[in-house]
A and B are shown apart, each in its own frame.
Chain A
Amino acid sequence: MFKRFYIDMRKIIVIEDDVSIRGQVCFSLEKKYDVSEASCMYDVQADDDVMLYDIAVVDLGLPPSPDTSEEGLKVIEYLLEHSCAKIIVLTGQDTEAAAAECLKRGCFDFLTKPVMMDKLLFSMERAELFLDTERNLQKTGVEKVEFQVQMGDGLQKLRECAEKNIIMKVLKDTGFNVYKSAKILGVKRESLYYFIKKFNLVRKNDD
């Protein structure tokens, strides 16, 4: 795990097991971003600043299964759970199934190797634009909540999914502070406890 610290630069993490590609990608991003590197899930889990990253460039084929997307998807899930980073997948596994899995989990973009650097930089610029817009909207009280539902499951399921996601997000933002979360959500604490119980929401550290 290699870290650099710069003030007022966006924090980027490049998760790639190929040292040569990782080095070159980092070199090209360092001009503009505060770049960190990781080569596997262990590095990501050991990173105390994981929640601070704005963008993550993730390879899917990571050890111990460098020939499948298994480990990369685990890393993506971890990042989505512990950070608000926009995830750009940069992978040699260009199967439709891998792309579908990544987008289903909420990745921002899916690029297949070999890709020209301009394309990756363009994707990063778009991610930045999305981040800025979302943050500006957040300041006005507008939250973006993403969820995937099967059409035909009915509106009840849709509503529950939306409720669960927004409650989870607010609880995460407030460090699971029920008083603060209830205030942000505009509900009574008792109601929030009801939803916490209903959706079986637990603080990650309590697992």
Chain B
Amino acid sequence: MIDLLLYSSLAVSLAVILFMYRQNSISPSFINIISRLIKMNELDGSDPSLFVRNLDAFLSRLGITDYGYYINYLNTEYYRPKRSERDSVVKFVYTADYTVFVELVPRFAPLRQNNRARMLTEIIFMIILSDISIQTKSAEKAFRKSYELQAFINHDVKNLIQFVNVLEHNLNEINEGEHKDYVRLVRYLKKGIPGLKHRSDKILSALSSTMPEPEGLPEDVRIVELAKAIADSYDVEMNTSTPHDMVVRADKKILSIIFDNIIKNFYDKRVTERGISFFMDAVDSGGRVIVTLGDTGSLIPDCERIFEPFFSGKSGGLGIGLFHCRNVAESTGSRLRAENTEVGPQFILELKKM
């Protein structure tokens, strides 16, 4: 509804401007004024509040000292009343979501003949409306993403608290004289800790998905062993023909994030596609190491879209995992892409050596 009203108002303003253009009411100097006005709005970042604030100086330079406006959008309002009682050119729109009111008092000549004042009013009105549209859309998008992110993190935080709650209960209930109970509890803890660590990393990863990953110190990483440890924590069997002692100097934290994401996706996929296998290979290629992680399951419907933020192929998925993986890969000069092969889908990490 808001879009429909905005576009109708913009269309009317545009029609008025075109009509005047056809009537030869627009001179080259006036076109220059319009471009400066548009430029000013661009420099203000299409922010209607900044635009109206800077309007005073702009109109003064044109000799227009009396004008007024009232704009209201996203629960904020900006207001400047007209100072004189002289007739003005007025343009306004009022809806439940926003209000725009603009009036200019022409500098010379009787009002009806002053097409330039009328056109200027139309253009200012049009710019403010477009800015409001941009700001409203950005705000709506930000709110939606923030809600999705919150819901996603909430779920993981609840699980973490649940773990702590049960652990607390178990520690209180454990029989201090029973050594075997302690051994059993430690055995359960050891089994659960890798998953717990991944969940915590996932929360951190979701929180920092739109921020650059803090740069870690490069270290010698045994990449096959790292991937295997993560696969083991998900009870995923990893096939590889790469020597286990292959060492790459890289940021281990970033590699862990990428490997974890891809292996977790395989873990989820394996539930419905029984019998598929997972493999990882790495080849040294000069300044880079080409790491391939793939499976023998169904292909990826769109190999590029999966890296889009908030796009997920999984029902209910947030869609920030692979987006974040590509971001962190690129932050170290590496590249991450996906492709479908005859065997199955593959993720290829062109890892830059540090």
Contacts and interface: CB of A to CB of B under 8 A. Distances in A.
Nearest to A25: B166
Contact of B195 (A18, A28, A64): A18
Nearest to A95: B151
5 contacts: A20-B163, A24-B167, A68-B315, A112-B158, A116-B165
Given A24-B166, A27-B184, A42-B271, A68 B316 contact: yes
Contacts of B166: 21, 24-25, 27-28, 117
A20 B188 CA distance: 7
B193 A20 contact: yes
A125 to B, nearest CB: 15
A66 B268 contact: yes
Interface in B295-338: 314-318
Contacts of B158: 92, 112-114
Nearest to A119: B165
B191 interface: yes
B328 to A, nearest CB: 22
Interface residues of A, number: 36
Interface of A: 18-28, 30-31, 40-42, 61-68, 70-71, 90, 92-93, 112-118
B174 to A, nearest CB: 9
A21 to B, nearest CB: 5
Contact of B314 (A41, A62, A65): A65
A24 B161 contact: no
B316 A70 contact: yes
A18 B163 contact: yes
Contacts of B196: 20
B317 A24 contact: no
A67 B169 contact: no
Given A42-B271, A64-B272, A26 B188 contact: yes
Nearest to A41: B271
A1 B199 CA distance: 22
B170 A28 contact: yes
B199 A114 contact: no
Given A19-B191, A64-B268, A117 B169 contact: yes
Given A24-B167, A64-B314, A67-B315, 10 more contacts: A18-B192, A19-B192, A21-B159, A27-B170, A28-B173, A30-B184, A67-B316, A67-B317, A114-B162, A117-B170
Contacts of B314: 64-65, 67
A65 B268 CA distance: 7
Contact of A93 (B155, B193, B271, B317): B155
Contacts of B269: 64
B159 A70 contact: no
Nearest to B188: A23
B254 to A, nearest CB: 24
A119 B155 CA distance: 20
B185 interface: yes
B279 interface: no
Contacts of A40: 271
Q: Across the A-B interface, give the 3 residue pairs with the lowest CB-CB distance, nearest first.
A: A20-B192, A68-B316, A23-B188
A24 B274 contact: no
B185 A27 contact: yes
Given A19-B192, A25-B166, A116-B169, A67 B155 contact: yes
Nearest to B184: A27
Nearest to B312: A67
Contacts of A31: 173
A18 B158 CA distance: 12
